[in-house]
Amino acid sequence: MGEAIVITSGKGGVGKTTTSANIGTALALMEKKVCLIDTDIGLRNLDVVMGLENRIIYDIVDVIQGRCKLKQALIKDKRFDYLSLLPAAQTSDKTAVTISGMKEIVAELKQEYDYIIIDCPAGIEQGFQNAIAGADRAIVVTTPEKSSVRDADRIVGLLEKEDMKESPSLVINRIRNHMMKSGDMIDVDDIVQLLSIDLIGIVIDDDEVIKASNKGEPIALSPNSKASIAYRNIARRILGETVPLQSLEDDKGVLMRVKKFLGMRG
């Protein structure tokens, strides 16, 4: 029996879809069976980020309205056998998806997959309610900006009213270290203190992420980029491992520290 995790944020453009794609990919890299669900009806793009747009035949609305079986709508990832995607509809009416329909789909997928990652649309309307309906836990994505943290707080409040097995956890995305240091961005600690939920990962703002998503290759596949390691760490924490938070220092900093360490020994 798998676990369904909804990736949500309230505010748009903070990286829900990128986070969904990369956590899903990272979990698949660890040989977990993962199914991604895009619930942003009318504005789907999880398929684009995953590079699977050209394979879509049926979508989630077709499944709910009974035009196809769930298995027919699932798209197998081109890189892993372990990873599938249930795409959102691009044209259909938003109201086609219902809470009970979502619950059914998630329950069916949970039989077969270890993790169901649900990409939630922005906002707190019906689309949000649908996306969280079948989830066992939630990951709230925020960036170190006031408006984004404010919306994350609102979302956490709404999630707390739901009957989820676990309390929501937090991903802070798009961290720019130099701005955080100079105090121009809200500190990681301040965000965690304000939202008072568990921090499950921090992801540095990395140009590679944009490049990768434009290519349809999730960054989690690249071996060395900082963002990639960050997403893989999040996946490991989801699996229950204890992984220390990534250092925000840039590479130079790390090198300096190694030198210092060697110097101390020598």
Partner 1 sequence: MLDKKQMITIKGTREGLSLFIEESASFDDAIKELNEKIMASKPKKDEPVVSVKVKLGNRYLNEEQEQVLRRIISGENRFHIESIESELIRIEDALKWQEESEIKAINRIVRSGQVLYIKGDLLLIGDVNPGGKVIATGNIYIMGNLYGIAHAGSEGDRDAFIAASYMKPTQLRIADYISRAPDYEADGVYMECGIIDEEQDKIIIDSLKILSHKRKEISGFERRMNNG
Q: Which phi and psi (to 5°) does residue 143 adopt?
A: -110, 165
- Provide the greatest CA pair distance for the chain: 71
Choose which of 71, 154, 178, 211 interacts with partner 1 (CB under 8 A).
154
The reply to whether 56 sits near partner 1 by the rule CB under 8 A is no
Q: Where are the beta strands (DSSP E) in the chain?
A: 3-8, 34-38, 75-76, 83-86, 115-119, 137-142, 169-175, 198-204
Query: Which CB sits closer to partner 1, 100 or 196?
Result: 196
- Closer to partner 1 by CB, 186 or 238: give it: 186
Nearest to 133 by CA among 148, 116, 149: 116
Among the listed residues 104, 112, 145, 153, the single contact to partner 1 using CB under 8 A: 153
Q: Rounded distance, CA 141 to CA 157, Å? A: 14
Rounded Cα gap, residues 138 and 22, in angstroms? 16
Q: Is 12 in the site for partner 1 (CB under 8 A)?
A: no
- Considering the complex, state which of residue 188 and residue 194 has its C-beta at the smaller distance from partner 1: 194
Residue 192 binds partner 1 (CB under 8 A):
no
- Amino acid in position 62: D
Question: Which of the ranges 41-49, 167-175, 188-196, 217-225 carries the binding residues for partner 1, by CB under 8 A?
Answer: 188-196
**Nearest distance from residue 10's CB to partner 1, in Å?**
9
Choosing from 194, 199, 239, 243, the residue that interacts with partner 1 (CB under 8 A) is 194
Distance separating alpha carbons of residues 49 and 46, to the nearest angstrom? 5
Please list every residue from 195 through 254 that binds partner 1, using CB under 8 A.
195-196
Q: Does 191 bind partner 1 (CB under 8 A)?
A: no
- Taking each helix axis from N to C end, the angle separating 146-161 and 188-195, rounded to the nearest 10 degrees, works out to 30
As given in the structure block, the two tokens for residue 188 are 């990681």
The nearer residue to partner 1, 56 or 194, going by C-beta atoms, is: 194
What's the angle, vertex CA 136, arms to CA 59 and CA 236, rounded to 5? 95
Of the residues 38, 59, 62, 151, which one makes contact with partner 1 according to CB under 8 A: 151
144 scored as a contact of partner 1 (CB under 8 A): no
Rounded least distance, CB 196 to partner 1, Å: 6
Residues that bind partner 1 (CB under 8 A): 146, 150-151, 153-154, 156-157, 160, 194-196
